[in-house]
Amino acid sequence: MALIILFSSLFILMLMRIPIAFSLALSSLSYILYEGLPPVLLFHNMINGMDSFPLLSIPFFILAGGLMNSAGITARIFGFARSIVGWMPGGLGHVNIGASIVFAGMSGAAVADAGGLGAIEIKAMREAGYDDDFSIGITAASSTIGPIIPPSLPLVIFGVMSSVSIGQLFVAGIIPGLLMAASLSVMVWWIAKKRNYPIDMAFRLNNIAVHAKTSFLPLMTPVIIVGGIISGLFTPTEAAICASAYAMFLGLVVYRTLAIRKLAVISIDTIEVTASIMMIVGAASVFAWILTANQVAVHFAEFVFSFTDNKYIVLLLIMALVLVVGLFMETIAAISILVPVLLPIAAQFDINLVHLGVIVILNLMLGLLTPPVGMVLFVLSRVSGVSFERCVKATMPFLVPLIVVLMLLVFFPSLTLFLPELLYGK
Question: Cα–Cα distance between 423 and 228 in angstroms, integer?
Answer: 13
Residue of 1, 4, 36, 129 that binds another protein (CB under 8 A):
129
8 A C-beta contact, residue 382 and residue 114? no
Cβ atoms of 381 and 111 closer than 8 Å? no
197 binds another protein (CB under 8 A): yes
List Cα–Cα distances, 246 to 67, 239, 347, in angstroms: 10, 10, 40
Give the per-residue contact string, 373-402, with another protein (x = CB under 8 A; - = no): x---------x-------------------
Least distance (Å) between residue 26 CB and another protein: 5
Number of neighbouring beta carbons within 10 Å of residue 352: 18
Residue list 23-42, contact with another protein (CB under 8 A): 25-26, 29, 38-42
All residues at 6 or more sequence positions from 318 whose CB lies less than 8 Å from its CB, including other chains: 342, 345, 356, 360
Of 199, 296, 316, 423, the residue at the interface with another protein (CB under 8 A) is 199
Report the nearest approach of another protein to the CB of residue 240 (Å).
8
Q: Where are the beta strands (DSSP E) in 61-169?
A: none
Q: How far is the CB of 217 from another protein (least distance, A)?
A: 14
- C-alpha dihedral sign at 348, 351, 356, 359: negative
Q: How far is the CB of 179 from another protein (least distance, A)?
A: 29
For residues 215, 221, 227, 228, the Cα torsion angle rounded to the nearest 10 degrees is: 150
CB atoms within 10 A of CB 261: 8
166 binds another protein per the rule CB under 8 A: no
Distance from the first to the final alpha carbon of the chain: 42
Nearer to another protein, 54 or 300 (CB): 54
Task: Name the residue among 280, 318, 210 with its Cα closest to residue 22.
Answer: 280
Nearer to another protein, 50 or 321 (CB): 50
- 244 near another protein, rule: CB under 8 A: yes
CB nearer to another protein: give 203 or 312: 203
Whether 141 and 177 have beta carbons less than 8 Å apart is answered as: no
Backbone angles phi, psi at 29, to 5 degrees: -65, -40
Asked if residue 151 has a cis previous peptide bond (ω within 30° of 0), the answer is yes
Does 22 contact another protein by CB under 8 A? Answer: yes
For position 43 contacting another protein by CB under 8 A, the verdict is yes
Site residues for another protein, window 219-238 (CB under 8 A)? 237-238
Binding of residue 335 to another protein (CB under 8 A): no
Binding test (CB under 8 A) with another protein, winner from 31, 61, 78, 287: 78
Segment lying near another protein (by CB under 8 A), choices 84-92, 98-106, 216-224, 416-424:
84-92
Q: How far apart are CA 326 and CA 339, in angstroms?
A: 13
Q: Identify which of residues 177 and 251 has a Cβ nearer to another protein in the complex.
A: 251
Site track for another protein across 88-127, x = CB under 8 A: -x-xx-----------------------x--xx--xx--x
Candidates 265-273, 317-325, 357-365, 402-410; binding stretch for another protein (CB under 8 A): 265-273
CB of 418 to another protein, least distance (A): 30
Query: Of the two residues 116 and 146, which places its CB atom closer to another protein in the complex?
Result: 116
> Which residue type, as a one-letter code, is found at position 139?
T
